[in-house]
Structure 1
């Protein structure tokens, strides 16, 4: 039987690589605290006020580090020793929270807001997740349609890994044009498949030209498949997409975990999911990973 001490040494050796990890904050967090929105005023959101306080904490009390979370991983130990170690981390996390809370209050007072307008629970949650923060800026659908990201579109169309996903993206928008012009979806009625394939191809070429991707094409196979599909709705695929959508909604409502940034394409033929990032983003959400 292996003694507890030997198990502890084994775990320490397996986790030894963590000692050599660079100190400091992540690139995501560094980008957030240097974002222009971190220069707060009376119109700033609670999130950016807390980011401003976090920036001050990192520079001063944190010594280049974010507040401590207070949790420790599972490890081989007696209950007494584990609980004692956990108390040490929790005490430091509480001390960091109190400092950050005071900085939040000071900033709120400085910008002319009620120092207690951000709740203790909100600051504590922010403090706990400070090391994992991520800002997501979303593009409005109106912008996506009126101001296409031509370079990104062309990049995806020529990339073997993403060309199919981008082809479906183009075709989905071409189908909208088709429906607006002919009051039906391609392949919806029997006996019109060949004609619909020609119509959809024309709509796709026109869309590509309007997007600034002159000369680019969508493969005949994808066009034929879109028409063969005939606006049907497979229950299994619909349930899968519904599950993904509900997860993303929960992320945005709870502001926990990082939501997808971009256009999600599910290719049921190849059983493949891909995310197309078509920049200039606007709206902001935040969460922890």
Structure 2
């Protein structure tokens, strides 16, 4: 980790060293009210334990139930109209939805409700089935069922994050891949065979009798264990699969829909694209987006802040290098600071050399003026805030939990906001 301005060629050398030794690299630059930090990861960096919101992890498979779940629901609802009020009012909403989905299919040529209009009609069907002649004047379990229609009647699909994992081009042969990639390949085979991901097995809370809820919960858990066992079998049949921990397979299966690949195009796969080309491409994209954002009153890009800080850092590092060189030639060392005063015009000239035309952008000119005014000085509150964000990102990388930024975070202390840029 380094916190001082550094020459681009020296930075490239440090990054190359970090890539060779598979070590994450964090660069931080703070000046005045502005700061940014960059995280350079050693190649593609997968995160399995992303800690998604619990409400997003619910996967009930109501449109593709397996035989055990179908049989359980059918048994509980075979005489649904003849059940007493207690039993009727404690049917789990999963069972209620499965029962009325069968009725819907019978009246719609075997098709599930697919459009918003059809799902709305289906929801009304469920609501109409609730009993209102009881002391409560309604049934909570049927209310839960109606509320769950839109978010649970969704056909299985492949999330974009996992699709990126499946499509990643491995630079190393199969036998040299980590356990993550062996499991990912097995999950891909599972998906291609079943057209769905392994079941996480988590069942949300719902109104039901304890005995019935536990039975339903066990059905979901058993299916999750069965899917994980099938994937483990595929993994163990692969070269090097015998070294994969079954617990790692279980964790992947529970979080498959939320697996994230950071720096998917980094490392060796990004070697043909220079840092300068990436920066110019990002500038063209961000400035084009700003034209639209101005019309919609959306936040404008913080790329001008990054350009100004990066240009000032390059100038300061070059000046310090020159002073040290002169000092060495004179037979003594120099410890001059890299944060000397640099004019806005010098900053803009450096920006123009890196991103031609950017120096004419009004917001770039403003950012350059602010950075020049700061004269390389760090404000304690901005530096502390930036350091706190960096600490959080380092913890994510070390523990491989939650999703770290990809790959640059810019902070504007004047507007009090951040933006993550892929540079």
TM category (shorter chain) comes to 0.7 to 0.9
CA shift digits 1:42-69 (9 cap, x unpaired): 2222221111111111122xx2111111
CA shift, 1:211, in A, is 3.6
Q: Residue 226 and residue 144 in structure 1: after superposition, are their counterparts in 2 closer, same or farther (change >3 A)?
A: farther
Show CA shifts across 1:226-258 (max 9, x none).
133333333333332223222222222222222
- 1:287 corresponding residue in structure 2: none
Structure 2 residue aligned with 1:251, among 388, 396, 417? 396
User: Does residue 118 in structure 1 map to residue 244 in structure 2?
Assistant: yes
C-alpha distance in 1, partners of 2:318/2:213?
A: 69
Sort the Cα spacing of 1:42 and 1:164 in 2 relative to 1 into closer, same or farther, 3 A.
closer
User: 1:93 aligned to 2:219?
Assistant: no
Of 351, 364, 371, 1:207 maps to: 351
1:17-49 CA-partner distances (Å, limit 9, x unpaired): 024423232233233223333996222222211
Asked whether the equivalents of residues 157 and 167 of structure 1 are also in contact (C-alpha less than 8 Å), the reply is no
Normalised to the residue count of structure 2, the TM-score between the two structures is: 0.55
| Cα drift, residue 10 of structure 1 | 1.4
Shift in alpha-carbon separation, 1:186–1:15, aligned structure 2, 3 A: farther
Structure 1 vs Structure 2 CA RMSD: 3.1
Q: In structure 1, the residue corresponding to 2:302 is in which secondary structure?
A: helix
| Mapping for residues 1-289 of structure 1, pairs under 5 Å | 3=136, 6-37=139-170, 41-60=174-193, 63-108=194-239, 113=240, 115-137=241-263, 139=266, 145-160=275-290, 161=293, 165-183=302-320, 184-185=338-339, 187=341, 196=342, 199-213=343-357, 216-217=360-361, 219-278=364-423
Give the whole-Å Cα distance in 2 for the aligned partners of 1:176 and 1:4.
70
Give the CA deviation at 1:259.
Answer: 1.9
User: Normalising to structure 1: TM-score of the pair?
Assistant: 0.77
Q: Deviations over 1:161-214 (max 9, x none)?
A: 575511111111111123134445355xxxxxxxx4xx3322332333234446
Paired residue total: 261
Structure 1 window deviating more from structure 2 (155-164 vs 258-267): it is 155-164
Aligned equivalent of 2:112: none
- Report the structure number with the largest CA radius of gyration: 2
1:11–1:75 Cα contact (<8 Å) kept: yes
**Contiguous gaps of at least 5 residues in structure 1:** 188-195, 279-289
Q: In 2, Cα distance between the equivalents of 1:27 and 1:231?
A: 41
What is the CA deviation profile of residues 82-135 of structure 1, one whole-angstrom value per residue up to 9, with x for unaligned ones? 333222211111111111111100013xxxx3x421111211111211121121
| Contact residue 197 and residue 256 of structure 2 kept, 8 A | yes
